[in-house]
Amino acid sequence: MELKKLPDIDVPWELVEALKCFPVKRQVEHCGVSFLVGPFDFYAQCPQCGTRIKVRSSSALMEIEDVFDAVFEWMLKPGAADLVRQRQQEIKADKDE
Ligand SMILES: [Zn+2]
């Protein structure tokens, strides 16, 4: 069987490391108080004044969040969820060794 050639992309080591330690909460400050929001949220509501604030940029520049979004989109493909679960189990088993 011939493997389909995937595009050659130099994925920087820094990106992989940044993905691994990406926080599951984002700290936001408004009105002198800080609060936590989901890292993929575009907007948050200040608990102090109720203002809706933009917490994630939607510029043309790619950010780590965009890499996650691309993976999340891939995960919507049929069968992808099973692959994710299987791979997560393998990764977890490797870590436990
Ligand atoms: Zn506020």
Instruction: Give the domain range for residue 51.
Output: 17-56
Task: Give the chain as a DSSP string.
Answer: -PPPPPP-----HHHHHHHHT--SSEEEEETTEEEEE-TT-SEEE-TTT--EEE-S---SS--HHHHHHHHHHHTTSTTHHHHHHHHHHHHHHHHH-
Ligand 1 centroid vs 34 CA: distance in angstroms?
Answer: 9
The predicted structure's pLDDT at residue 60: 75
Tell me, yes or no, whether 76 lies in a domain.
yes
Whether 65 and 94 map to the same domain: the answer is yes
Ligand 1 centroid vs 25 CA: distance in angstroms?
Answer: 18
The predicted structure's pLDDT at residue 19: 95
- pLDDT tens, 30-70? 999 999 999 999 999 999 999 999 998 877 788 899 999 99
Whether 27 and 43 map to the same domain: the answer is yes
Whether 69 and 50 map to the same domain: the answer is no
Ligand 1 centroid vs 31 CA: distance in angstroms?
Answer: 4
pTM, entire model: 0.80
Tell me, yes or no, whether 37 lies in a domain.
yes
Whether 41 and 64 map to the same domain: the answer is no
Ligand 1 centroid vs 49 CA: distance in angstroms?
Answer: 4
Ligand 1 centroid vs 37 CA: distance in angstroms?
Answer: 14
Ligand 1 centroid vs 1 CA: distance in angstroms?
Answer: 59
Ligand 1 centroid vs 13 CA: distance in angstroms?
Answer: 38
Tell me, yes or no, whether 46 lies in a domain.
yes
- pLDDT tens, 12-34? 999 999 999 999 999 999 999 99
How many domains is the chain partitioned into structurally?
A: 2
Tell me, yes or no, whether 12 lies in a domain.
no
What is the distance between the alpha carbons of residues 84 and 97, in angstroms, rounded to a whole number? 20
- pLDDT for 1 beyond 80: no
Whether 25 and 39 map to the same domain: the answer is yes
The pLDDT-based confidence of 7 (bands split at 50, 70, 90) is: confident
The predicted structure's pLDDT at residue 8: 86
